[in-house]
Amino acid sequence: MQSTRRSFLKGVGAGVLCLTLGQMGFDLGEAKAYVRKLKIEGAKEVISICPFCAVQCQIIGHVKDGKLVSTEGDPDYPINEGSLCAKGAALFTMYTSDHRLKKPMYRAPHSDHWEEKSWEWTLDQIAHRVKETRDRDIILKNDKGQTVNRFETMFWMGTSHASNEECAVIHQALRGLGVVHMDHQARV
């Protein structure tokens, strides 16, 4: 987002005002709570979970006129009791960000640019390439003639957007293919 001189001055002005009122001993908590109340007044509460790690903190989403207007930790949920880490606290901005990807992006080998692709095309490509690579590289037996079914030329990187249960299913599917090299993004 580009900052104009006007928006910069407005931002600085609001910051100075808050700082001054705060320094003068005014409790800004109530004013902030009031502004927040206005924002979510009449909104429907929708319970969901933070998608960023396996803790799965519970979130309350406020939906007004079919649009998400705010997210916050659910104080009634025993795991997070309303608190969220920095990633979960920034969840709403992920929804509103212009940088959010909404379609698969593909960069062809040796290409210098990304192309937007459909999910159908992307999933077909993944299935096709996994099968082709596995058919070519699968190691069925080791040097001693023992069955090993090892698929060593594919690496799987998991995502914190998957729940524990999804990770368990993905792990089993990969082991079924013989994949031995895998890791999880939340660990990195």
Contact residue for ligand SF4 among 84, 162, 174, 179 (CB under 6 A): 84
Which residues lie closer than 8 Å to 98 by C-beta, 6 or more apart?
Answer: 1
Site for ligand SF4 in 9-68 (CB under 6 A): 50, 52-53, 55-57
Bin 6: left if φ > 0, else alpha if -120 < ψ < 50, else beta.
alpha
CB of 56 to ligand SF4, least distance (A): 5
Q: Does 162 help bind ligand SF4 (rule: CB under 6 A)?
A: no
Q: Closer CB to ligand SF4, residue 59 or residue 179?
A: 59
Q: Judged by CB under 6 A, which stretch of 84-92, 120-128, 130-138, 148-156 contacts ligand SF4? A: 84-92
Q: Closer CB to ligand SF4, residue 53 or residue 174?
A: 53
Chain centroid to Cα 83, Å, comes to 18
Helices (H), 59-163: 86-89, 91-96, 119-137
CA pseudo-torsion sign 72, 75, 76, 79: positive
Q: Closer CB to ligand SF4, residue 151 or residue 160?
A: 160
Amino acid making up residue 71: T
- The residues of the shown chain that bind ligand SF4, judged by CB under 6 A, are 50, 52-53, 55-57, 80, 84-85, 87-88
